[in-house]
Amino acid sequence: MKIFSRHLPLTFWLLALPMTQISAEDEVSQNAAAVGVTSSKVEALAFYPSRNAPAQVQALNRSQIPAQIGAVVESLEKRVGDRFSAGEVLAKLDCKDKKLELSNQTAQYARLLENLEFERRQYVRGKQLAKQKTIGEAELDRLNTNVRIAESQFESQSAIKKSAEIGVERCQIIAPYKGVVVTRVANVGEMVAMGNPIVEVVELDNSEVSAFVALTDVESFNASNNFELVSNGNRYSLRNRVLLPVVNHTSRTREARLEFDSTASLVGVAGRLYWFSPFYHLPANLLQRRGDKVGVFVLDDNQAAFIETPTAQEGRPILLNDFEQWRGKLLIVDGRHGLVDGQRVSAEGITSRQPKKQTGSIKSGNN
């Protein structure tokens, strides 16, 4: 009994030793729970995401200028590649018969004008004689009728003469706008019928961009107010004119037409149309899923705070609806995988820069 009493404190000490060791291990584990992460300010990562689609510069007017009379081509004043201004002569047609017709109609015009003036003088004299009771009312009425007949004949001849003048004018093929000759359809000495093309021309100062927007990108296209054409290393600012309400069933696209803000690109140049979201976004790889929620981790006093972004979709940039609420926050970049809300972290590496545009990193569904 004395032996047992003597060894009892030692027994209790041995029993308590494992419990003391477990508590110490838990404390070490808790102290080691701070995960090393890197962080970056929202301003350093925010950007305007872009979408893009194939595009081409098209002239609003590409015309085959026709002959408006049947005649032989006398000369072509412009060669392929020559530029011209509106109203310049592009080609000349043989005009001998048209000029003869005009000469004949001009003579008829002069004869009827003289006749009209004579009938008017006769009527004036008739009115004076009628006042003197020298002629009766019937004779005066006949003189007045002669004036009206002469006026009608003169007006008819005036129209015929004008038509002959137009015929002579049409012996010259006139440029309807400023442009460049791209094809000579007819040749000197050939007989062309009315309506046959003489030259093909393209307007230079009136072009727009045609792009085909995938149906999946229509919503972002309509929401954007910033458009650019990128071609051969050059960038051109554009204004959206219209998105056609017609779907191409083969490519599942809708055609958009956009105008140049200032200097237009070369007609026919191909490139890609980029449009940018008007709202700031974060890179898609920052999005984390915790349970049934998606969001990002931010640094909050050496703790990881999970902020839900309910409108975000995995694999797509994260929309920041109210950027002012996010301004200045520190996003956890490296080490974010496996974090839980409220977990202790040890942060290092903070960067800051202004939000930027993103060009070309997210392609349209129609490549």
Helix-helix angle 96-131:137-169, to 10 degrees: 160
pLDDT in tens, 237-249: 999 999 999 999 8
pLDDT in tens, 260-272: 988 777 888 899 9
Q: Tell how strand 83-84 and strand 293-299 pair up.
A: unpaired
Q: Could you list the residue range(s) of the whole structural domain that residue 127 is in?
A: 96-169
Instruction: Answer yes or no: is 190 within a domain.
Output: yes
Identify the domain boundary among 276, 292, 321: 276
pLDDT in tens, 62-91: 999 999 999 999 999 999 999 999 999 999
Identify the domain boundary among 254, 276, 298: 276
271 and 315 fall within a common domain: no
199 and 68 fall within a common domain: yes
Across the chain, mean pLDDT equals 85
Q: Give the closest residue to 94 by CA, choosing from 22, 172, 165, 176.
A: 172
Residue 144 belongs to domain with CATH number: 1.10.287
Q: What is the model's pLDDT at position 33?
A: 60
Instruction: Answer yes or no: is 193 within a domain.
Output: yes
Task: For residues 112 and 157, give the distance between their C-alpha atoms in angstroms, rounded to a whole number.
Answer: 8
Task: For residues 203 and 181, give the distance between their C-alpha atoms in angstroms, rounded to a whole number.
Answer: 9
91 and 42 fall within a common domain: no
Q: What's the rounded mean pLDDT across residues 29-51?
A: 80
299 and 363 fall within a common domain: yes
Instruction: Provide the residue count of the chain.
Output: 367
134 and 222 fall within a common domain: no
Instruction: Answer yes or no: is 15 within a domain.
Output: no
User: How many folded domains does the chain comprise?
Assistant: 4
213 and 186 fall within a common domain: no
Task: Tell me the three state secondary structure of residue 222.
Answer: helix
109 and 232 fall within a common domain: no
Give how far Cα 62 sits from Cα of 58, 183, 201, 266, 310, Å: 9, 11, 6, 14, 51
Residue 56 belongs to domain with CATH number: 2.40.30.170
pLDDT in tens, 300-333: 988 999 999 988 888 888 988 788 889 989 999 9
Instruction: Answer yes or no: is 20 within a domain.
Output: no
Q: What is the model's pLDDT at position 14?
A: 39
Identify the domain boundary among 160, 188, 203: 203
Give how far Cα 39 sits from Cα of 4, 65, 76, 126, 308, Å: 62, 66, 71, 110, 18
Proportion of the chain above pLDDT 70, given as a percent: 85
Instruction: Answer yes or no: is 19 within a domain.
Output: no
Task: Tell me the three state secondary structure of residue 84.
Answer: strand
127 and 243 fall within a common domain: no
284 and 198 fall within a common domain: no
How many other CB atoms sit within 10 Å of the CB of residue 326?
A: 19
239 and 339 fall within a common domain: no
102 and 161 fall within a common domain: yes
Task: For residues 130 and 132, give the distance between their C-alpha atoms in angstroms, rounded to a whole number.
Answer: 5
329 and 198 fall within a common domain: no
pLDDT in tens, 340-366: 999 999 887 555 444 455 543 333 334
Partner residues linked to 237 by β-bridges: 228
pTM over 0.75: no
Q: What is the model's pLDDT at position 27?
A: 39
Q: Which two tokens stand for residue 177?
A: 């706008």
Residue 181 belongs to domain with CATH number: 2.40.50.100
